[in-house]
Structure 1
Amino acid sequence: MKTMKKILLAVILLAALAAGASSIVITNENEYSLVRQFGKVDHVVDQAGVSFKIPFVQSVDKLPKETLLYDLPSSDVITSDKKTMICDSYILWHITDPLKFAQTLNSSITNAENRLDTIVYNSTKNVISSNTQDDVISGRDGELSAAIVENIGDTLDQYGIELLSFETKQLDLPSDNKAAVYERMISERDNIAATYTAEGSSEAQIIRNTTDREVSVMLSEAEKNAEILIAEGEAEYMRILSEAYSDVSKQDFYSFVRSLDALKVSMEGGNKTVILSPDSPIAQIFYGSATP
């Protein structure tokens, strides 16, 4: 009889310990604890620590509280100029309202990712379809992501989800038309370069023509000024000669100097003998100098 009492006491003690253990709820920093009663969420524990629930009646589900990453499947999108592109991207998201999340998505991360896939893809398709291929490529860094997030807006609030970021890993052309598009882009760039070259050549020719005209004007002015100076010099020279010939004493001196110059020229070189007649102007110099 005593043995039966001990066994019964042990069973009761074990049941009490089991009930006590099952009533404890431990919530970590990176998770939410959803306490369910008969399958329905009774309350949510969103603070880290220890809490309690009714044993054997209530159960606990866990949901992640940290930021989650979802790698979206690559998908085809069409730009406004009817060019197909392949978008490979990922998103960062987290649960903001675990109760809504549990009620609308059955506390399933997979269900949430499927819903995110559809909503983000539709937003991406709408944004890219309103831009040309060149605009999409040039706006890849930042602008495209911001436009997609803005287009989604508060759509995800109904699921207790917030989209933190949309990032593009790759936004490329399909392999079957990539070469053709690249050739078209190269041709367009070549045309732009040819236009710039032609405009530069035209501008250079205008500058050369203007410079040549200015140089011609400057040379013409310089030649004109030179002719004026030469004419003025010749006029001054003739004036000096005229003054020299107008005075008898100057005439004699001028004749004397010119005769000496002529004699000097005739005596250049070695072994030269000059024979002068008495009536030679040069001889007259010596005869004149010999006269007392």
Structure 2
Amino acid sequence: MPENLRMPIVVVAIVLVVLVWGSLFIVSETEQVVITQWGRPVGRPITEAGLHFKVPLIQKANFFEKRVLKWDGSPNQIPTRDKKYIWVDTTARWRIKDPLLFLQRVGTVTTAMSRLDGIIDSVVRDHVSNNRLVELVRSEGWERARESLLEAGLGDYQIMMGDEAENDPEASAVLAKGREKITREMVADASRLLPEFGIEILDIRIKRINYVQTVQQRVFERMISERKRIAAQYRSEGEGERAAILGQMERDLARIQSEAYRAAEEIRGKADAQATRIYAETYGRDPEFYQFYQTLDFYKRYENPRGLFVMGTDAELFRYLRDREPEGDNP
């Protein structure tokens, strides 16, 4: 190949590679593409994955997500219908339904997020302001769940419902609307505003509801007071059970002791009667020997160094000593 043709061929090859490379693009399963020519969209959006072509240097492939995207709002302080100020933190799920319209009206996901901030925050604020706190916290079917828990034996469940059920008659009734229904209404209202941007809202959820700082401390104090009251009630019931058990124990102990004492007295009475009978039989056989034995037993058992008896020699106690003859006098 002549030297003068080598350079032009290399240049042409490079240009062809650049043109071919610029005309090919790959669309993945999670993407969708809109082709624009000089800034204006041409053709239909490409939603099928694979290798696709465009005019190089003139047309541009604009990629958009096909997957579900997440939106997280900033916590807002909103008053409820019953004039209770709360912090509401919400989240939503959305997707680009019409990429061509999305490109024309919004352009980028960042811009779409800012549009969602205004629309969803406004919808959430309207629905929170139009409903009571109990409806935002609880869901439909709460009363049935409460009855099931009461049937299961949770007697303190009514106490755990708080002062709201006691002060608000509507709060203790069956809820016609709860958090689930309110969030469905939020989705419906937002869905009427977002199609013009090529966006479809799929779900809106309330992540967290909390009292504002000025009310939160009082709520905590009330919760602590409620817990202390329930604890005092448990302690009182425990003391009552303890007193009942101790009383029953004392009654059983007194009954057992009484029965034991009665049985012991019966045994002792029978033993005394038998001993008396034996003594009487013994006395009847040799009264003189028995009297002599009793006198000797008195001599043996008498131990009282401080005691003093003053008796004459003719006292009955010394009869056996007095009548005893000295050994030396025996013939």
* TM-score, normalization by structure 2: 0.58
Q: Deviations over 1:49-95 (max 9, x none)?
A: 6420245775421113566443312123567876432123545x464
- Checking the alignment, whether the CA contact within 8 Å between 2:89 and 2:209 is kept in structure 1 is yes
Q: Deviations over 1:251-274 (max 9, x none)?
A: 3442332232133346887xxxx9
Aligned to 2:46, what secondary structure does the other structure show?
Answer: strand
Q: Deviations over 1:197-224 (max 9, x none)?
A: 2222222222222222222222222222
Compared CA separation, residues 253 and 191, structure 1 to 2 (3 A):
same
Compared CA separation, residues 16 and 42, structure 1 to 2 (3 A):
farther
Matches for 1:216-227 after TM superposition, within 5 Å:
216-227=254-265
Which residue among 287, 291, 297 is the counterpart of 1:255? 291
- Checking the alignment, whether the CA contact within 8 Å between 1:33 and 1:60 is kept in structure 2 is yes
Q: State the partner residue of 2:45.
A: 43
- Which piece of structure 1 moves more, 237-246 or 59-68? 59-68
* TM-score, normalization by structure 1: 0.64
Compared CA separation, residues 60 and 268, structure 1 to 2 (3 A):
closer
Give me the whole-angstrom Cα distance separating, in 1, the residues matched to 2:72 and 2:136: 24
Q: Percent identity between the aligned chains? A: 21
Q: Deviations over 1:218-242 (max 9, x none)?
A: 2222222232222222212211111
Compared CA separation, residues 82 and 193, structure 1 to 2 (3 A):
farther
Q: State the partner residue of 1:232.
A: 270
Give me the whole-angstrom Cα distance separating, in 2, the residues matched to 1:43 and 1:278: 144
- Checking the alignment, whether the CA contact within 8 Å between 1:75 and 1:87 is kept in structure 2 is yes
Aligned to 1:73, what secondary structure does the other structure show?
Answer: coil
Which residue among 226, 234, 241 is the counterpart of 1:196? 234
**Counterpart amino acid of 2:294?**
R
Matches for 1:70-85 after TM superposition, within 5 Å:
70-76=71-77, 83-85=84-86
Q: State the partner residue of 1:5.
A: none
Q: Deviations over 1:118-138 (max 9, x none)?
A: 458649847965255888xxx
Aligned to 1:227, what secondary structure does the other structure show?
Answer: helix
Q: State the partner residue of 2:135.
A: 130
Aligned to 2:74, what secondary structure does the other structure show?
Answer: coil
- The alignment yields a C-alpha RMSD, in angstroms, of 5.1
Aligned to 2:71, what secondary structure does the other structure show?
Answer: strand
Higher relative contact order (CA 8 A, sep 6+): 2
**Counterpart amino acid of 2:241?**
E
Aligned to 2:239, what secondary structure does the other structure show?
Answer: helix
Unaligned runs of 5+ in 1: 1-11, 136-145
**Counterpart amino acid of 2:297?**
D
Return the offset for 1:148: 8.6
- Checking the alignment, whether the CA contact within 8 Å between 2:65 and 2:96 is kept in structure 1 is no
Aligned to 1:130, what secondary structure does the other structure show?
Answer: helix
**Counterpart amino acid of 1:25?**
F
Return the offset for 1:174: 0.5
- Which piece of structure 1 moves more, 34-43 or 95-104? 95-104
- Which piece of structure 1 moves more, 51-60 or 149-158? 149-158
